Chain A
């Protein structure tokens, strides 16, 4: 099987963040500031990513704007010919900083919102005043003539606001809105009972999206991500392990996806010690689930094995303890029924309280699935 070059690099510059969303995609085991790579390390990694064939870089975190060298990294990426995207909570940005980022060549901003209302937005983010600050930041982004994607994470506590979210994105001048259901690993798995929607709630969301897409075709791009528990077949996670994307953690670990370190049976190479090209092509972690040779049944003989690539490895590991299992989101998995019935039970009960994403909550817990 020939290996294509990666499409994009997700650069997770830091795990520090003023927000504490209970579905954060960072690992439970958050990396501390003193482990973060230097400016020079990042610049070299970015140049290597471009040379390897990445066309885009997404600066993310944590909150990437806590790094004072973000402008330098954007400039380095621009110089390397990469399309630059900033994925931010927006609460630390002001006009001066944004102007410096534009000057460095920033091409797109993806701004996260926790809801269309201040009340839910600030409660989910765990940051008073955050929602209003984000709206102000969106205005700054548009005033700087930068294109904007408004990003909403949806779950049982805000599923009824989808249409309002899309209208809000339009009013903010966004060209694109992403409505993404929580994906249940890491912090989100810990908070599943507070977040998982019912099937009926998902049906409502799907209808709202279909209606908005028809109404707004060519006006705003609407991306919608469903929660995979209610699908019959798993998602094509990352477009296949080690096929399209590279992720670099704050300390320089190179990962096939941002959650990969949750698979504790894998070891990861660090871009400070080994070239990115060598890691992409040959490292143990990237080779582990690349292609289809690693698969067991029912994936191995499945006619969708090169469509969904067995689904999500991190979810397989989190639920079954074996990363080579079929993703339990697939209804051919022997774990599927118990997983879905547990989630359905949680979705029907009163929502649990949030365990916020904080360094002091960043310790593993045992739980039954």
Chain B
């Protein structure tokens, strides 16, 4: 996940084609309208860090609508929510003013795995473990 400090220099003229989507936008309608065609980055906005609608939007954009470009979190973006954002499909985050980008990086090291699936690993832990056990058994049999 690309973490961008609030003070970072704005991107120049050849910035990717971006679409700003408010968190009450109906994604199905947006996708059907063709508004995402040619878009390289979707910016999902957090008016307050406690407003979690954009997590669902990011997940649906990735998983259901197969959006392959950058999904950026903007607005009230703090560091303790970054792992949730990453797992929901955000690929970049513009931190809110005053938030230390260095402290943000550290948050990704803590948990090696989670129970439920996410956009990177759609299978829940139990399915991953079952697949691992099956692979191990198959390897043993082959040997």
B and A form one assembly: no
User: Which B residues contact A (CB, under 8 angstroms)?
Assistant: none
User: Which A residues contact B (CB, under 8 angstroms)?
Assistant: none
